[in-house]
Chain A
């Protein structure tokens, strides 16, 4: 016989206990450490930091461990922690020309001041499973060289800018206060600083697919990788009490400058336009996708027709956040039986009406045939 169900509390507690067991796995195998995750699954840590908008390798590693390697879950855990932290100000803009570069490539110039540096990349590796990684075989030390000098490395966009062939970086009004989409409600249309923030924490897969769509004709992009650079930059913060900037430390970022063809419009002369991507840690895929989507989203600003999903700000930004997306998609597994009951009742009623009218129709046909 049915009795009103009780015991949700015990069920939840037991489910969480089982989850803890499954997370730990076989007890005879040593537990994975935070240092191992931060050190050996560094790109996973980078993704979690980027999409959680919190630069802390050990906390990101902890989140990955806690989430059993589920990246979106880890991002979510770290964000829920980030949101409780006080916000004490805005850093100075990062100066990526003074980056301590580990990788820097350009697809638009064969050689350029500072040169091309491959750095640690999967590019040109052959994706063959490596049996030597089944064991803990010794790994060679990398070949390193000292940086040539202390000069800053000019960006490719600056080379083009010398000839006025690329649009200027864009100026914000002097009194513009940098927005923070984690502290203010989102409003459309967005200013570019907020839009770039949203893209920087947007889902890598979603932005990848949208960026890809612009290459396949949905949005009409003709992009070139002006430059990708990865390395450490110093974060500086103005302390009002001191009257000068102090360094908060270094963070690793990936910056992508995408150069796009532009025929010009009534508003702007023919020249190259920019798409920009900047992501915590090392993620070329994300920063490239971000710069493609950033460029696509500038359609209105540049007077282009909006024909594709990637150009539609409200569509892109409203759906780029994987923590929001996963929450709402997965909420469908919560009970909905009150609403479903209402729908059941409605469908039953409509079915009765339908059967009744069909019956009436049959009777009419029968009558007509008989007459």
Chain B
């Protein structure tokens, strides 16, 4: 029987140093082979699989005492799981945290890439549920690994072609497959395809962690990331026909917010930090402008 008093002692950033070393080796390999999924011995983390354990393990392995961490989920710093992961690192690593994209050295994200262009001193860590871009075309790992090894991506092109044949356009809106440095087809994680162009030639290092599926992959800085398409059906991102109702930003990704039960709705920035920055700089959206007019 164990002594329960020993229970509460955990290493800096939770993982033991052996495990961190193992994960760092996987990360280095991933950086050396951009877009290739490196198997790693994923650990059970104190949060559930599917809730960011891959991203958390990557962050835990690269974070140092003087790093500044930002965590977003759906683009926002205040969604519950982002709050929870941020609190986890504050607890186990006692590091500085921020909601400002500019100030962060490590940004862990689920489903979005910040609107603000990232810099060379920043690392973007993605939480990945299904790392295999071919998974829904071929459920077997033994097969998909072969397909990657042989650069056999015909199936994916057929899928995209069938989309066009059926709908007149490629009906994939998120997890839109990309080709990295002309070699590996890679899943960008379930980010909307709106964010795909931000991965291309990014100044920041991009690391992807899939805990349940035990894979790490990476896009080093200044790497080509091209969304798959056809010459006559070029890749294009979502367009919103109105700006953010709070800050008036255009060409950003918007969330739809239901206001009442009569069909009233508004569109606001999904990236909450970007939206706050813009409002602090004096930009005003439609919804915030109105009450002022009424007061005048």
Contact = CB atoms under 8 A, between A and B. Distances in A.
A331 B192 contact: no
A338 B192 contact: yes
Contacts of B194: 342
Contact of B287 (A1, A62, A184): A1
A58, A76, A318, A324 interface centre (most CB from chain B within 10 Å): A324
Given A82-B44, A341-B255, A7 B51 contact: no
Contacts of A331: 48-51, 129
Given A80-B46, A334-B51, A339 B80 contact: no
B238 A185 contact: no
B48 A338 contact: no
A353 B168 CA distance: 10
B238 A314 contact: no
Given A6-B78, A328-B129, A341 B73 contact: no
A170 B253 CA distance: 59
In the A-B complex, the 6 residue pairs with the smallest Cβ-Cβ separation, listed nearest first, are: A327-B49, A331-B50, A327-B48, A342-B173, A185-B39, A328-B50
Contacts of B74: 335-338
B88 to A, nearest CB: 11
Contacts of A327: 48-51, 53, 212
B237 to A, nearest CB: 10
B48 A339 contact: no
Nearest to A332: B50
B49 A323 contact: yes
Interface stretch (B28-36, B199-207, B265-273): B265-273
B15 to A, nearest CB: 8
A335 B142 contact: no
B80 A188 contact: no
B193 A342 contact: yes
Interface in A164-199: 182-189
Interface stretch (B2-10, B147-155, B224-232): B2-10
A5 interface: yes
Contacts of B171: 346, 350
A326 interface: yes
Interface stretch (A8-16, A124-132, A143-151, A268-276): A8-16
Contacts of A346: 171, 173
A2, A183, A353 interface centre (most CB from chain B within 10 Å): A2
A109 interface: no
Interface of A: 1-2, 4-9, 11-12, 56-59, 62, 76, 79-84, 86, 182-189, 314, 318, 323-324, 326-331, 334-339, 341-346, 350, 353
Nearest to A7: B78
Interface string B119-158: 0000000000100000000001110000000000000000
7 contacts: A2-B259, A2-B287, A84-B10, A334-B110, A335-B74, A338-B174, A350-B167
B10 A337 contact: no
A198 to B, nearest CB: 13
A339 B270 CA distance: 11
A351 to B, nearest CB: 12
Interface in B34-69: 39-46, 48-51, 53
A335 B73 contact: yes
Interface of B: 1-2, 4, 7, 10-11, 14-16, 18, 39-46, 48-51, 53, 73-76, 78-84, 87, 110-112, 129, 140-142, 167-168, 171, 173-174, 190-194, 212, 214, 238, 245-246, 253-257, 259, 266, 268, 270, 272, 275-276, 287, 291
B287 A11 contact: no
A364 to B, nearest CB: 19
Nearest to B191: A338
Contacts of B141: 188, 314, 318
A334 B84 CA distance: 12
Contact of B173 (A2, A81, A189, A343): A343
Nearest to B267: A341
Nearest to A78: B44
A80 B45 contact: yes
Nearest to A313: B142
B2 A56 contact: yes
B78 A8 contact: yes
B241 to A, nearest CB: 10
Contacts of B291: 1
Given A56-B2, A58-B2, A183 B48 contact: no
Nearest to A54: B2
Nearest to A15: B80
B73 A334 contact: yes
A189 B253 CA distance: 43
Contacts of A328: 49-50, 129, 212
